[in-house]
Amino acid sequence: MSSFFYARLAASNIKKNRQIYVPYIITCIITIAFYYIMKSLSLNEGLDSLYGGGTIRQTLGLGCNVVMIFAVIFLFYTNSFLMKRREKEFGLFHILGMEKKHLMRVTGIETLYIALLGLSFGFLFGIVLDKTMFLLILRVLGREVSLGFYISREAIVSTITLFLAIFFLIFLNTARRLGFSKPIELLKGSNVGEKEPRANWLFAIAGVLCLGAGYYLAVTVQNPVTAIMVFFVAVILVIAGTYLLFTAGSIVLLKLLRANKRYYYKTRHFIGISGMLYRMKQNAVGLSNICILSTMVLVMVSSTTALMIGSDDLVSTRYPYDFTYYGYETHYGDIDYANREALFDQTLENNGLTKTESVRFRILNFTAVKEGDGFTIREGIDSAGFLEDFEEMAFITLDDYNRSMGENITLNDDEVMVYSNRSKIKSDKLVLDDFEFKIVKQLQAFQCVGSGALASNITSSHIIVVKSPEIIDALYEYQKERYKDMAGGIDYIYGVDVDGEDEAQLSAYEQIRAGLGQLGIPENEAVGRVESRVEGAQGFYDIYGGLFFIGIFLGLLFTVAMILLIYYKQITEGYYDRERYVIMQNVGMSQKDVKASIHSQILTVFFLPLITAGIHLFFAYPIVEKILAILNLSNTRLYVYCTIGCVAVFSLLYVIIYGWTAKLYYAIVKK
Amino acid sequence: MAILEVKSLNKIYTTRFGGNQVEALSNVSFLVEQGEYIAIMGESGSGKTTLLNILAALDTPTGGEVILDGKNLSTVKEKQMSAFRRDNLGFVFQDFNLLDTFSLYDNISLPLVLMKKEYPEIRDRVETISYKLGIHELLRKFPYEVSGGQKQRVAVARALITEPKLILADEPTGALDSSSTDSLLNLFNKINEEGQTILMVTHSIKAASHAGRVLFIKDGEVFHQIYKGSNSNQEMYQKISDTLTFISTGGELDE
């Protein structure tokens, strides 16, 4: 009987306070759905079929942890706001004869209701959203992506565990507050003035340092291989810096401004600074959340969009010719490829494909370790130190170069020309242990098959044009002796461009592979292989389609979370400002001035995160560019355009959300 | 010379659907002389608050006019109304109306900042007024750190700092304990003796007994008035008390 009474009281409490409870419950639902989706995505086996699927799953796993921290901070924060508004009510119950343990029981049941509501609707929403987004993006892409839809039991269990724990902690916190409070204090409740925030110099300085360090790392990172690791460190530093600066830094700055009396005692500054001090105290955490979410959305959406749009570019970098045959040699020119080339030409013709262009040349590939200005080959790659110091060397002969570029250059035996895809060789000499060449020319562009294969390599690569096949043979022998089994080889490359349908190209590709088998030269490591651009492109679209899907998916999720945050903030601000509004008018500020002053504060509060996100994005550019380079996207201008586009769309969305929630705000204030 | 003239004020409220009309004030007229200290008394619903709102230009009358220092309030444009109110009137409220995001110092200086005064002038005036009201020690504190009586002193300081022609006080002792009430009323007497005109609306007989004249309002009309003259506060208290008893028992007043 009595427990039924508490259950009913708890239900009616939530109903009575629905104005503040509805947003809270929605927040819970969204946070739970959000976590569930992240978790289930990170457990999705479909990801493994993607290029770098392991890394993506790892990243999503990290993302889950971020969401977890975010959920704890956010739910705690909103709940404490709720409880503060309800203190008076608790005080009243207290005075009407309810003991603290009864109150705790009621709040316990309330929390349980919220948890149940949140979890059930959270899962419903999460699963529906998962499915809808999947279908939607599939339609947008117009092609299959390899991410299936499924309901993950593991994700559900982990979500339930996590959120029950969070709700339990929230309940303990409420109980603690009730336990320590005195009825009379509760009754006064929110009438007790908010304490002025303290300026915490230590945190502010730590914030500046964190942010500075994060930016510095992002800007100075040189090597694409280390970029991903550095990126995570930088992200954590920037997140910490943002929180510290928004919470402590803003207060310190405002207090400094206030200390300047002549500046402070001006109508606009006077109201603005003191208003902002309290606003920042209450909102700093919420605003940093908005800022970080916005940055994440922008980086993710713009980079995956760039990859998606740029995938044609990527394909043509990776596959410079429609059809390519790679043959592996151990001596320069020791194998005759006439029968294979004949098979190529014949099969293409049979499939109605006209040959428009063809090239053939040989290239020697191996890895060297950078040492001072020169390079060295050490025995045993494991002992060679950091991956960062590895550079890829590719040698071709001058004849092949002249033929494929249509030029007529001459070189001496000790002279070379160099094309570097990432970092240039700074000295005018190319030194490799005992070999020494004079670099007579740094090539700006070099379009040949070899550069395509190198482009997909994440390390720095150099294509070196040497005078004669003898030099290549000498280099080959030298590195073979050092590397033994791991040695590089001389590739014979035959590239053909054709005119014709994709379908025909695909079937030609299959026929060539079958034909090679019949000739007794199957594809294997020792002999060679065939590549088709059309066939390879399918794989690329698959990969980038998947990445794009994840980018847009998470982008939308973060945006939804952000909309809720902004909505919540506006409502909070509304209740808070209502009283001030009236008092300021009574003291002789015109309604227009009051409105203008509050409006400008609200604007600052809401656009500060957006502007900060923009700055973060600006500093993230160098590092994101390098990570994209690993994914074969070297068209940085495309990334810049995508970013600008995303920022524009996002800002528009932000302004619309702001405008819509501002209406709610004024409705509350004017009541 | 009359600083405030109230001429046959009417205020009629119409209920939302245009049905019933309620007459909150009917034909209210009185004069306030420069340097006077007037209390307006009446029961809840007698029209006191409506009258005060009209005097403060927060509400407009249905008929009649209010002239402050020769200026008819109805001629002040809507846009200049806030500035006019700020420059000419000082307000003291029952619940203090201090902004808790401002220190007491900043609360007092608020009207001057709104008037766009320079900092050195603000500093000097806040200093002077706070010494006078005995709150100088408290200036660095925030409203939630001081007592009700101290808050009301700060509110009085804020009202006085613009040197207004008229102080309008709405139940200034309503939220104070008795010793704070005494000290606030003494403060009002002190500033009144220095020439400040005060108009106070109150329920409290004690508060009204400090005033130089008491107007009684009943059912929207000025029903009666008492001058203090040379009476002591106690004698005045008795007179007000008798009048109120008389009004509430419903009898007509003998001429």
* Residue from the list A192, A586, A589 with its beta carbon closest to the beta carbon of B91: A586
In the block, residue with structure tokens 């200390």: A259
Q: Using the Cα atoms of residue A48, residue A51, residue A52 and residue A58 in order, give the sign of their dihedral.
A: negative
Write the DSSP assignment of B57-82 as a string of letters.
TSS--SEEEEEETTEEGGGS-HHHHH
What is the chain A residue with the closest CA to B160?
A: A587
Contacts of A279 in chain B (CB under 8 A): none
Q: What pLDDT score does B255 carry?
A: 40
- Contact call for B97 and A586, based on CB within 8 A: yes
- Write down how long chain A is: 671
Q: What pLDDT score does A185 carry?
A: 66
pLDDT tens, position by position, B203-247: 888 889 999 999 988 888 888 888 888 888 888 899 888 888 888
Contacts of B170 in chain A (CB under 8 A): none
Is the pLDDT score of A163 beyond 90?
A: yes
Query: A401 with A415: CB under 8 angstroms?
Result: no
- As a whole number, mean pLDDT of residues A281-293 equals 81
User: What is the spatial distance between Cα B171 and Cα B183, in angstroms, rounded to a whole number?
Assistant: 15
Q: What pLDDT score does A120 carry?
A: 94
Model confidence at A447, in pLDDT bands (50, 70, 90)?
low
Looking only at the bridges linking them, the beta strands covering A390-397 and B2-14 are unpaired
Contacts of A257 in chain B (CB under 8 A): none
Going residue by residue through chain B, which has 255 residues, state the pLDDT in tens, using 9 for 90 and above: 688 888 888 888 876 666 677 788 888 888 999 999 999 988 777 788 888 888 888 788 888 888 988 888 888 887 788 888 888 888 888 888 888 888 899 999 988 888 888 899 999 999 999 998 888 888 988 888 888 889 989 999 999 898 898 999 988 888 888 888 888 899 889 999 998 999 999 888 888 999 999 998 888 888 888 888 888 888 889 988 888 888 877 655 544
Contacts of A582 in chain B (CB under 8 A): 97
Q: What pLDDT score does B17 carry?
A: 66
Looking at CA atoms only, how far is residue B200 from chain A in angstroms?
A: 16
For residue A98, give the 3-state DSSP assignment.
Answer: coil
Contacts of B106 in chain A (CB under 8 A): 270, 274
Q: Which of A161-175, A223-237, A487-501 has the highest mean pLDDT?
A: A161-175
Q: What pLDDT score does B46 carry?
A: 77
Q: Phi and psi for A461 in degrees, rounded to 5?
A: -125, 145
Is the pLDDT score of A300 beyond 50?
A: yes
pLDDT tens, position by position, A604-654: 877 888 899 999 999 988 888 887 877 767 677 888 888 899 899 889 988
Q: What pLDDT score does A383 carry?
A: 42
User: What is the spatial distance between Cα A498 and Cα A513, in angstroms, rounded to a whole number?
Assistant: 17
Is the pLDDT score of A385 beyond 60?
A: no
Q: What pLDDT score does A613 carry?
A: 92
User: What is the spatial distance between Cα A182 and Cα B27, in angstroms, rounded to a whole number?
Assistant: 51
- Contact call for B101 and A580, based on CB within 8 A: yes
- Contact call for A587 and B119, based on CB within 8 A: no
- Contact call for A265 and B99, based on CB within 8 A: no
Is the pLDDT score of A386 beyond 70?
A: no
Q: Three-state SS across A295-329?
A: HHHHHHHHHHHHHHHCHHHHHHHHCCCCEEEEEEE
Interface predicted TM-score (ipTM): 0.77
Q: What pLDDT score does B126 carry?
A: 92
pLDDT tens, position by position, A254-271: 999 888 888 888 877 888
- Sorted by where each begins, the domain ranges of chain A are 1-192, 317-534
Q: What pLDDT score does A378 carry?
A: 64
Is the pLDDT score of A566 beyond 80?
A: no
pLDDT tens, position by position, A498-547: 888 888 888 888 888 888 888 777 777 667 788 888 888 877 776 676 67
Model confidence at A384, in pLDDT bands (50, 70, 90)?
very low
Q: Considering only CA atoms, which of A173, A149, A192 is closest in space to residue A44?
A: A149
Which residues of chain A are at the B interface, by a Cβ-Cβ cutoff of 8 Å? 192-196, 261-262, 264-267, 270, 274-275, 277-278, 580, 582-593
What is the chain B residue with the closest CA to A584?
A: B99
Q: What pLDDT score does A352 carry?
A: 84
Contacts of B158 in chain A (CB under 8 A): 587
Q: What pLDDT score does A52 carry?
A: 56
User: What is the spatial distance between Cα B140 and Cα B160, in angstroms, rounded to a whole number?
Assistant: 19
Looking at CA atoms only, how far is residue B108 from chain A in angstroms?
A: 10
Looking only at the bridges linking them, the beta strands covering B166-170 and B89-92 are parallel
User: What is the spatial distance between Cα A356 and Cα A352, in angstroms, rounded to a whole number?
Assistant: 13
Contacts of A270 in chain B (CB under 8 A): 106, 110, 113
pTM of the model: 0.69
Model confidence at A133, in pLDDT bands (50, 70, 90)?
low
**A648 exposure class (CB count in 10 Å sphere: 0-12, 13-18, 19+):** exposed
User: What is the spatial distance between Cα A413 and Cα A478, in angstroms, rounded to a whole number?
Assistant: 17
How many CB pairs below 8 A link A and B? 72
- Contact call for A193 and B81, based on CB within 8 A: no
* Residue from the list A262, A580, A586 with its beta carbon closest to the beta carbon of B119: A262
